[in-house]
């Protein structure tokens, strides 16, 4: 029987810098994460685990969260230059999809089924943050005055937006409309210790959250109950995504080891269903 929720090392230690973040898989199952070999790059890891630089970002940009549109274009939160960047996967051309001069540090991004992007925007110096809605050429502030907004995700039915606050150790949930409006903010779950970073949903609506400093990934039910805690080899896990032919392989970026770990789970990721790679 297949062993679930047991993490193994996928890429060699320190192939990525300590800034490894933002994992996402394309339709072919290749994994991408930021800062391979040096800052400012996007690394590509094949399903067999072979790593290389996919693209180097221009103008001193440094990426964080990565998502794919329905058309297969890569979107990257560029925290250095206050952008969401777009990468043409065929030509590797990098363009500015949207620029937000009012953003402090666009960090993680989530994407709806109709390609609306939501960006968390932490200010680490004063432990505050904001949420932005991003469409091509347009950036709209949805909420300010939060704690250190970091991980962000849309539920599989598109009706909820989850956002966590790393330093305050809280995850919030909002009602979400198809047009990208949020309302009815409420506390989803909070913790007495360790940080929170990147998050993803599976196709069943469970939320997977990285516990930075603790070295675990939590599987949390839509009702806010902890269902599983996966222990990693590294401690500073920054983000995760789903991949594999059946969408049930979770890849986790780990900053203190500069690499990627992986484990198998029991349901495909929302991102894999959204991209049409697998069914729910």
Catalytic residues: 197
Q: Tell me the pairing of strands 31-36 and 170-176.
A: unpaired
Residue 53 to residues 10, 33, 44, 50, Cα–Cα distance (Å):
17, 10, 6, 11
Q: Is 276 exposed, middle or buried (0-12, 13-18, 19+ CB in 10 A)?
A: exposed
Distance (Å, whole) CA 250 – CA 260:
10
**Beta-sheet strands, E only, within 112-248:** 117-123, 128-135, 138-146, 149-154, 160-165, 170-176, 182-190, 199-201, 207-211, 216-220, 226-231, 237-243
């Amino acid at each position: 029987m297949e062993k679930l929720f047991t993490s193994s090392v996928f890429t060699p230690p320190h192939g990525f810098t300590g800034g490894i973040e933002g994992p996402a898989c394309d339709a072919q199952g290749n994994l991408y994460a930021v800062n391979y070999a040096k800052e400012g790059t996007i690394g590509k890891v094949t399903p067999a685990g072979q790593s290389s630089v996919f693209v180097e970002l221009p103008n001193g940009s440094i990426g964080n969260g990565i998502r794919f549109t329905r058309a297969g274009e890569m979107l990257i939160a560029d925290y250095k230059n206050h952008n969401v960047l777009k990468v043409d996967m065929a030509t590797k051309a990098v363009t500015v999809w949207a620029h937000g001069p009012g953003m402090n540090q666009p960090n993680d991004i989530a994407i709806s089924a109709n390609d609306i992007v939501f960006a968390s925007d932490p200010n680490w110096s004063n432990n505050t943050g904001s949420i932005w809605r991003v469409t091509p050429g347009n950036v709209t502030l949805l909420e300010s005055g939060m704690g250190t907004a970091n991980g962000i995700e849309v539920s599989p039915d598109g009706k909820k937006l989850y956002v966590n606050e790393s330093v305050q150790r809280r995850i919030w949930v909002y009602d979400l409309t198809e047009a990208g409006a949020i309302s009815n903010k409420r506390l989803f779950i909070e913790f007495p210790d360790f940080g929170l970073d990147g998050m993803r949903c599976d196709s069943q609506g469970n939320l997977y959250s990285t516990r930075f400093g603790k070295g675990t990934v939590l599987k949390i039910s839509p009702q806010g109950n902890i269902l599983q805690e996966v222990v990693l080899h590294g401690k500073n896990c920054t983000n995760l995504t789903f991949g594999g032919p059946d969408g049930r392989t979770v890849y986790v970026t780990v900053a203190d080891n500069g690499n990627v770990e992986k484990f198998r789970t029991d349901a495909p990721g929302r991102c894999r269903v959204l991209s049409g790679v697998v069914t729910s």
